[in-house]
Structure 1
Amino acid sequence: MVRAPLPLGTHGNITYYQHENGNWQARARYRDADGITRTVKRNGATKNAAMLKLKAHLAERQHVTTAANLTPASTVKELAGIWWEEFQAKDRATSTQHRYRYDLDRLILPSIGNLKIRECTVGTLSAFLKTVSNKNGAQSARVAKNILKGMFDLATAYDAAPRNPVKDVTLAPVKKKETVALEYMDVLKLRQSLTGEVREALEIMLGTGCRVGEVLALQWADLDLSDSNRARVSINSTLTRDTHGRYYRQEHTKNKRTRSAFLPPFVAEMLIRRRDTEIPAHATTTAWATPEMFVFPSSTGTAQDPNNFRRKWREQVKGTDFEKVTPHNIRSTVATFLERNTDLTTASLQLGHSDTAVTARHYVKRETEAPDSTAVLELFGREVSS
């Protein structure tokens, strides 16, 4: 009877041979990823040492061919482990890697990690992503879908799936939100209604058009306050989450563009006052504002979680006319104010966009009332002599 070949990436029984010098050799047949079965040997001073060396080598050899061992019966968790190793080798932004790892561990593996690849049908994955969207939001569902698409692309490449089911999963379209921008007098009222660091952060957002993550990532080294009338800020970083969900300073902005901006005197004066007279929770002296220290630190002096800042914001606007206003709305407010009082190019440069189309499409509030063109349109009412 012809002996059945070993499955790919596995070995047969381990046998032993003792050399004349007393050393031992452990050997086993191993079927490599190319389908060829080879005899693998390792030597040791004792039988046990030779066995341990052989097993360690076989484990390394199997690791190299693990992807080739994916089958329809492999689990999503096994697929994720192989996909993650390949994904890490790609030139992807650190923040993207952290977000993907975080959502893989938080959303995907706890829910469908034990499913077999063959069980992941279009219907199964559609139901899973719908649940993610309902519980965690549409953006989380889109990220989860991107992760799953990459995983099942790998599964199809190694013949563990006949096709990628994720490609046929359709997420509910996300309705484009209407741009919210405050009118000038409302901005003044909102500023006067806020207190403490929430108001101070708002003033930086109003004076720069920064995102809240960029404001909370600011360190004193990013500011030149030597002349309050010509103060400047370098916007070169933002806060992002690591694989454990904790926020840290990422040494580039969302679009990887560093920009410099002048600060209005009222913002510069506030920062000088904060630096010289205010003492945050973690500090014991007004000499706390060293170059590497965050302008708005947490209670322990580390990066402040943006979610904690938004919570403080909500507490201060609760019960006011600005209860539905978010920090992100301030960015749109700055863009709209600059577009109306200067031009779209200035607004785009202030916000650090790659082109004016992004600013116009997502950040400038559209006018709902047409300009008074009655003098021109009245011309259509003229009578013509026959």
Structure 2
Amino acid sequence: MAKRGENIYFRKDGRWEGRYLIGHKYDGKPKFGYVYGKKYLEVKRELMILKANCERATNSAVLFGSGTVTEWLGFWLETLVKPYIAETTYHTYKTQMERHLIPEIGEGLLRELGTEEIQSFVNEKREKLSAGMLHNVYRLLRSALKAAQEKRLIRDNPCVGVKLPKNKGKAPRVLSRREQQKLEREAVREGSLEYLLCLYTGLRLGELCALQWADVDFVHHAIIVRHTMKRVKGTVRMGTPKSENSEREVPVPAFVMKMLREKLEQEGADGFVFGNGRSAASMRTMQARLKAMTKRIGLKGVHMHTLRHTYATRCLENRIGVETLCDLLGHSGPQITLKYYAHCTRENKFACVKKLKQIAC
């Protein structure tokens, strides 16, 4: 191939080919773009414009692999994120990417992905997804693009400025004191200690099923959360809790601890607290039994997480601080606790103010 001018070649097929540097791959190797034409001057003019555009676009300094959004999303999830998140969270992220992000915006170049394109993606998906799911997918994309920005793969995060539909969400179902009393009486009558334990410790369903006698501290009246049951691709297995914060010590009221001790004396300290000794209780069975129990006593919309929400609400009603509650629930930060229970603190504030009386009459 004959060369003429600056990176312009005459090809055997009779066309002129211009080559220009558009950046560098993540491994440091140069990445080139190409322009073709029948005339040398035609290619040269086009080449000058493309080079000028590349020089102005500092965000094209580095390319990852072939430069597509799909390739970066895969690298970000598998290499930068996966080692630091729970397995269930990883599969959730991967599913969201494969179902929503990659089919819609995956083929384009990362450095060319703009705010308008992401806004169009959001506008289309808002007709197909709930506001909550759409927010989750958007946050996933925003995090991946933020990492790309930090790696200098892009200059700005195109998610900035994107407008999302309001995610009002629903307030969590919480048992009233009367409803809780009915459920507790039925649980005691049936000998279903697991539901009482949830109501007074706030354990997640997986943590409850994975609880072993070795995790119960009868001296200090506490439970040490060390494990949880996880459902990954239809298979249930025991693993570490949801996050580092989920590994925690939870105080247990004396009357519940007394019932645990009686259960220990009757069944022995071999293996799991709930289940058949060496085999943990089934999460689905535990949920089904609660559903049957609440239906029998006339309570609607109650599931295992309702017991955790109820525990958190009773704690706030008893003036336990948000930061303390955050530790008890195993949340990653107080902002997560406030996200779910801000309505409770608001009700408490209004109730307290209503008690104020006029000083000067």
Normalised by the size of structure 1, how large is the TM-score? Answer: 0.58
Percent of pairs with identical residues: 21
Aligned with 1:271 (options 260, 268, 272): 260
CA–CA distance in structure 2, aligned partners of residues 158 and 344 of structure 1: 39
**Contact 1:222–1:233 (Cα < 8 Å) also in 2:** yes
TM alignment of 1:1-386, pairs within 5 A:
1-2=2-3, 3=9, 33-34=29-30, 68-71=64-67, 74=68, 76-88=69-81, 92-95=84-87, 96-109=89-102, 111-112=103-104, 115-117=107-109, 121-127=117-123, 129-131=125-127, 133-134=129-130, 138=132, 140-152=133-145, 164-175=157-168, 177-178=170-171, 181-194=174-187, 199-225=192-218, 231-240=221-230, 242=232, 244=233, 246-252=235-241, 254=243, 256=245, 258-272=247-261, 274=263, 290-291=270-271, 294-296=272-274, 301=279, 304-305=282-283, 309-318=286-295, 320-341=297-318, 343-344=320-321, 348=325, 350-351=328-329, 362-363=340-341, 364=344, 366-367=347-348, 369=351, 373=355, 376-377=357-358, 379-380=360-361
Question: What's the offset of the Cα at 1:352?
Answer: 5.4
User: Unaligned regions of 5+ residues in structure 2, if any?
Assistant: 4-8, 10-16, 22-26, 33-61
CA-based RMSD: 4.8
CA–CA distance in structure 2, aligned partners of residues 68 and 347 of structure 1: 44
Distance 1:132 1:266, change over 3 A: farther
**Contact 1:149–1:166 (Cα < 8 Å) also in 2:** yes
For residues 149-200 of structure 1, give each alpha carbon's deviation from its aligned partner in whole angstroms, at most 9, with x where no partner exists.
Answer: 3444577789998865433433222226446543434312012335899942
Q: Which residue of 2 aligns with 1:50?
A: none
SS in 1 for 2:30: coil
**Contact 1:224–1:233 (Cα < 8 Å) also in 2:** yes
**Contact 1:197–1:296 (Cα < 8 Å) also in 2:** no
For residues 208-236 of structure 1, give each alpha carbon's deviation from its aligned partner in whole angstroms, at most 9, with x where no partner exists.
Answer: 233334323322221135x7xx6431123
CA–CA distance in structure 1, aligned partners of residues 194 and 124 of structure 2: 39
CA–CA distance in structure 2, aligned partners of residues 83 and 354 of structure 1: 22
Distance 1:330 1:194, change over 3 A: same
SS in 2 for 1:171: coil
Q: Match of 1:170, as an amino acid?
A: K
**Contact 1:317–1:323 (Cα < 8 Å) also in 2:** yes
CA–CA distance in structure 2, aligned partners of residues 327 and 92 of structure 1: 27
CA–CA distance in structure 1, aligned partners of residues 190 and 243 of structure 2: 23
Normalised by the size of structure 2, how large is the TM-score? Answer: 0.61
For residues 236-256 of structure 1, give each alpha carbon's deviation from its aligned partner in whole angstroms, at most 9, with x where no partner exists.
Answer: 3444554x3655444245452
Question: What's the offset of the Cα at 1:203?
Answer: 0.9
Q: Which residue of 2 aligns with 1:16?
A: none
Q: Match of 1:318, as an amino acid?
A: K
Q: Which residue of 2 aligns with 1:14?
A: none
Question: What's the offset of the Cα at 1:337?
Answer: 3.4
**Contact 1:129–1:145 (Cα < 8 Å) also in 2:** no
For residues 35-71 of structure 1, give each alpha carbon's deviation from its aligned partner in whole angstroms, at most 9, with x where no partner exists.
Answer: 69xxxxxxxxxxxxxxxxxxxxxxxxxxxxx954434
CA–CA distance in structure 1, aligned partners of residues 303 and 150 of structure 2: 45
SS in 1 for 2:279: coil
CA–CA distance in structure 2, aligned partners of residues 104 and 298 of structure 1: 39
Distance 1:125 1:191, change over 3 A: same
CA–CA distance in structure 2, aligned partners of residues 371 and 151 of structure 1: 45
Question: What's the offset of the Cα at 1:204?
Answer: 0.8
**Contact 1:339–1:346 (Cα < 8 Å) also in 2:** no
Distance 1:347 1:184, change over 3 A: farther
**Contact 1:214–1:238 (Cα < 8 Å) also in 2:** yes
For residues 292-332 of structure 1, give each alpha carbon's deviation from its aligned partner in whole angstroms, at most 9, with x where no partner exists.
Answer: xx434599936744x66445433432375421234334334
User: Unaligned regions of 5+ residues in structure 1, if any?
Assistant: 9-30, 37-65, 278-285, 381-386
CA–CA distance in structure 2, aligned partners of residues 355 and 145 of structure 1: 21
